[in-house]
Amino acid sequence: MNDPTTDVTITIGHEELIIRQRYETLSIVNDIFIGVLFVIGSALFFSPSTSYAATWLFVIGSVMM
């Protein structure tokens, strides 16, 4: 029914990313999400009024590592 050897192929321009296994796909998505949290958290530190939210984004990103 479910073929565990199914590859996921993502083509971006001439570059091609082939992801094997579901766990690897979830791991890559998680890493990208953590990176987004840290980038947004870093931007929020530019304003003192948003530093509380920035701190929480860093905490959440750290826990997800």
10-28 tens-digit pLDDT: 788 777 777 777 778 888 8
Query: Where along the chain do its domains lie?
Result: 22-64
Percent of the chain whose pLDDT exceeds 70: 91
- How far apart CA 42 and CA 60 sit, in angstroms, is 13
pLDDT at 40 > cutoff 70? yes
Q: Are 28 and 21 in contact (CB under 8 A)?
A: no
The dihedral over CA atoms of 48, 52, 56, 59, expressed in degrees to the nearest 10, equals 70
Supply the mean pLDDT for the chain. 86
Report, as an integer, the average pLDDT of 41-65: 94
What residues pair up with 11 in beta bridges, in sequence order? 16
pLDDT at 8 > cutoff 60? yes
Amino acid 3: pLDDT: 60
